[in-house]
């Protein structure tokens, strides 16, 4: 299963766009890239998933370059409630979903 590397923490202000980049140099051909969000005292919550190029949903966008060795989660116009830990995971499509969580990125949004 591919190992991921993310920044440990990031700071932002309300209304700004936040981009969190994840490195996954040994991603396999069949692997998908998935991002989860976790608030204190809650379980991780699925945000977005992609294989290549760009994926957008109602809460975020995911940018994946052609070589797929990295990915960027983009949160448009963050609010205080976006303060959380964000996890990048790869190796989703392995036949069963044995997710491998890294340390995640702790995002702090200030007023």
Residues within the interface to another protein (CB under 8 A) = 32, 34, 41-46, 49, 51, 87, 92-93, 95-103
Residue 72: CB minimum distance to another protein, A: 19
Residue 91: CB minimum distance to another protein, A: 11
Residue 65: CB minimum distance to another protein, A: 19
Location of structure tokens 């609010």:
79
| Cα-based distances in Å from 86 to 19, 21, 31, 55, 95 | 11, 11, 19, 17, 24
Whether residue 20 contacts residue 73, with contact meaning beta carbons closer than 8 Å, is answered with yes
Of the pair 37, 70, the CB lying nearest another protein is at 37
């Amino acid at each position: 299963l591919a190992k991921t590397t993310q920044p440990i923490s990031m700071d932002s202000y309300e209304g700004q766009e936040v981009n969190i980049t994840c490195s996954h140099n040994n991603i396999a051909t069949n692997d998908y890239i998935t991002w989860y969000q976790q608030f204190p005292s809650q379980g991780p919550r699925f945000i977005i998933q992609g294989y290549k190029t760009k994926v957008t949903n109602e809460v975020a966008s995911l940018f994946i370059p052609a070589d797929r060795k990295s990915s960027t989660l983009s949160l448009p116009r963050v609010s205080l409630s976006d303060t959380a830990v964000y996890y990048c995971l790869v190796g989703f499509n392995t036949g069963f979903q044995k997710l491998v969580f890294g340390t995640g990125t702790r995002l702090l949004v200030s007023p």
